[in-house]
Amino acid sequence: MAKHISETFVSIPNSDRTIDLLCAALRCWSFSTTTNHSERLLTFDDGRVIITNLDGSLHLRVEAEDPLILLGMRSVLQAALYKVATSMLPNVEWHRADGEPLE
């Protein structure tokens, strides 16, 4: 069970295409990618990323055992998102899974 979890929602046009490009960009960083309808699960050594397509937006959830691993995974995920996004993205604000902003 992951001790450290953070998540964010990103409104983005063409979210279907964006999620495909995002998973392709992250393929070299993750051990495996699993698809379950509108959800993608990317498994890493000490954590995982769950990307859910929510009709015009993406829900990104990062789970890790170690806070430094969490920050690293978030950084790679956010950089890949900015790289593959076809339009201007708003600032991505991460929150803990319980809804509290990260400090």
Query: Which pLDDT value is given to residue 68?
Result: 92
The answer to whether residue 30 is domain-embedded is: yes
Q: Tell me: the pLDDT tens digits for 90-101?
A: 677 788 887 665
The answer to whether residue 17 is domain-embedded is: yes
- Domain with residue 74: its CATH number is 3.30.310.50
Query: Which pLDDT value is given to residue 100?
Result: 61
Tell if the pTM clears 0.85, that is, is over it. no
Query: Which pLDDT value is given to residue 86?
Result: 64
Query: Which pLDDT value is given to residue 48?
Result: 92
Task: Round to whole Å and give the CA distance between 92 and 58.
Answer: 11
Please state the domain count of the chain.
1
pLDDT tier, 44 (very low <50, low <70, confident <90, very high otherwise): confident
Q: Which domain holds residue 66?
A: 4-91
Chain Cα centroid distance, residue 55: 16
Q: Is 48 left (phi over 0), alpha (psi -120 to 50) or beta?
A: beta
Q: Tell me: the pLDDT tens digits for 6-22?
A: 999 988 888 888 888 88
